[in-house]
Structure 1
Amino acid sequence: MAAMMSQLLVVLYTGLCAGRGNRMTDETLPKPSLSAWPSWIMPPKSNVTLQCHTSTNDVNFALRKGNVPVEFPQSPDSTEGMARFLLTDLQASSSGPYTCEYYRREPPQRSSQPSDILLLLVTGEFPKPSLQAPQRGVVTAGETVTLQCQRPDNIFMPIKFALLKAGAAEPIRVQDPAGKETDFSLRSVTVSDAGNYSCVYFLMRAPFWASEPSNHLEITVKDKTERESPKMAETGVGTVELTLIVIFILLFILGVFLIYKYTQCGAAPNKMTKCSRSSKDPQEQRTSVQPGKESDDLSMAITSCSPALVSFHYGYPIITPPCPRFSVTLPGFVNGLGLCIPPHRPHPSPHSTFQRNLG
């Protein structure tokens, strides 16, 4: 940023040196430094503190705007080697180049060289620009982020753009425009580059007016070691939420499957009723089966009453009714899965079988 403003600072510095007072300059005194807190780009009606610092003791400080001394109603708050100049209720007229200097308290009162220029800007004199970024959402550390600041079409004076970050005392970048816009490139970003950004444009000559800041643009930087995907980070869906969604889907599929099985199993008794009306009593079937017709009857039973289960005990077929309708019991749940449990039937004893054959 200092390199980009070097030409302007040289011109301003020459004017300041030409307009200084009659006090002699001591070239052996080190040049002081001047800084602004919280920033040198401030909104109107705010306050800013300009701090002048030197390593020389027993000195008094003076603040200048351009080549004119700034008068204060009371002496600035100063300690050994530093003075604080408080500027309150800033207006557009407060904008401009500031320097500070100091001089020895004891005669001869020779002053130091002036500090480097601090350009104080008060925003709000021009319409705000727009700030856009092609990258949306989360960016990964190490990538390049480009922020484009664009001024309105009705500004034709020579200007510069400044990129601001919330909480930073100094602008991140100061650049010349390319047409009516400029691109700020943040290369190899880190997690510390995350934050809210805005931009302004301002005049580089008197009256040093500055625009309103653009709307804030939030940049989120994700470290490379993080496993969370950018899309997940944007939507705010974490591991717990994703797990619950998967469980819900599985339960839904299981519920549909069980309803289907219960429906299929519940239709079987209707078929069995038709089958029982067209056949004899199961007791009669067991006593009337002939050895030679056993296979035909079995085939007929399986064909005409497919939902039933057919088993043989000592040569006699036993037709088991189909699965019962749904009930909230363990057999009902197992039947819903397609595992029909046949009802318990006592096995005929050899003695009863022998009596039946004799009959």
Structure 2
Amino acid sequence: TASILVKYEDANSEHKKIYPAKIFGPSNVAEGVKVHLKCSTTGIRGHQDNVNVYLCKNGVGIRIAALDNSEDETIFTMKDVTKEDSGNYSCVYIRDKLLPDQVNSTGDYLVFQVYGDGDLEGHQDNVNVYLCENGVGIRIAALDNSEDDTIFIMKNVTKEDSGNYSCVYSRDKLLPSQLKSTGENLVVFKVDGEWKEIYPAKIFGPSNVAEGVKVYFKCSTTGIRGHQDNVNVYLCKNGVGIRIAALDNSEDVTIFTMKDVTKEDSGNYSCVYSRDKLLPRQLTSTGENLVVFKVDGEWKEIYPAKIFGPSNVTEGVKVHFKCSTTGIRRHQDNVNVYLCKNGVGIRIAALDNSEDDTIFIMKDVTKEDSGNYSCVYSRDKLLPSELKSTGENLVVFKVDVEWKEGLKNVGARVAAALVLLFLMLSVLLLLWRYWGILKQ
């Protein structure tokens, strides 16, 4: 598999924002085989909305798949591939649905080559591993079907050896210079008297926030580095270090906090780490993945919640609506839960990070309270009337005055019947007593 970084490119409309996704798939296959390219938004997007994922070839969309808000991945299958299918593949996603050819995205990609016979999966066959510099093969080593690793040694390196290094493999044997591809990750390798080893790390964080909020970017080396040494982790913006944090050999994660963000904080964020300690601004590199981070003065993260409550009641009763985030959100932060009527917030309640549910009470309801009710939640605190959104489900709530009047009528009829029964029993009792007197 190979992972990619997709850089953000503005869409034609503010309502059609295109976001980068990750792509995983083979780099080299034989003609005629079936190929699976996986597009993933894991760790990149929140789950507020359903999205559409696009597979792009040479920067232009060619396939589309819908992804609901409980899914992170989709797989595009290409059958009987030919040499014409070779190209630079990438993935993006968008909340709006466009024709694939309307989606244009550029950035780092999976270089997919179709040629030769056979495929590249598993340990059935021996393979050839290539060391690539700047996307072109420079060395080759054979790997038999019992081996997973090989080491290339470069002696007496010079500044001319500086470059972006990666590895790929193939069942076929090519001249290294014939191979043009990039591997699952890059080592940005620089030779000079002051050079330091820089390694990519993973980054997790939001894509869109409002001005003035506090933002957390998590840098992780989980599954990437061994724990022999302490390291320094750098948060980078647009490929340049801006923050540094020390990570000892028992830790895998560090969090960088940005307070009161502004539009000037927008950019492409990534994480890297090094055993050496540099001034952040001396570090020029990108991590394993990017967070395309945008600060918008009007935007807030709103997430759907579940609502439970009655559908039909009579006027004057007390009604309970329960809003629940059970199974929907994580519990890192306190949130604000909103009860919405016809898509507009009307009530707010705070929910701390140990709670999943809150109940809104409406007393003496009237016909005017009828409507479509739903629940949403946000880390931000808004005036309810500023919030326009719908939750995971709706309760169509109806207050019926006639039902109440009907019950009153039934009650009146029952009371009248009871009075009539009482009178009849009284008359019968009197007749029975009178009959007894006559017999005497």
TM-score, length-normalised on structure 2?
0.31
Instruction: Choose between structure 1 and 2 for higher RCO, CA contacts under 8 A separated by at least 6 residues.
Output: 1
Q: Which has the higher strand share?
A: 2
Q: Which has the higher helix share?
A: 1
